[in-house]
Amino acid sequence: MKLFTGVVGAAVVAIPMMFSQAAVAADGEALYKGKGCAGCHAPNAMGAVGPRLAGQQEKYVLAQFKLIRDGKRASGQSAMMAGAVKNVTDEEAAAIAKYVSGL
């Protein structure tokens, strides 16, 4: 009975986590497309006017995103991107970073 209770308890914790991670990935994809990221970074995030984002480390993408958005990075095409991301929240940026890092 203890084994069954342990398995059920683990499932109660694990299942919502799996769905929430899938929801974040889906939100990241929707945000990537909806915020216009694909216009410069390409629909597959392999880069065009902007650099390739696909497969980059999630933490790196998020850090660069925040630096550009917050006006703390002014190299490359960051001035062009700053206007596009000025109203993107930390949560939205994190979802986008998670999405592109998984491509």
For residue 18, pLDDT over 80 is answered with no
Per-residue pLDDT at 57: 97
Q: Which has more confidence, 35 or 12?
A: 35
Which fold would CATH assign to domain 2-101?
A: Cytochrome Bc1 Complex; Chain D, domain 2 (1.10.760)
Nearest residue to 61 (alpha-carbon basis) of 22, 23, 98? 98
- Summarised one tens digit per residue, pLDDT across range 27-81 is 999 999 999 999 999 999 999 988 999 999 999 999 999 999 999 988 877 788 8
Q: What is the pTM of this model?
A: 0.73
Q: Where are the domains of the chain?
A: 2-101
Confidence (pLDDT) at 17? 46
| pLDDT at position 77 | 79
90, 22 in Cβ contact below 8 A? no
Our CA dihedral for 91, 94, 100, 79, rounded to 10 degrees, sits at 90
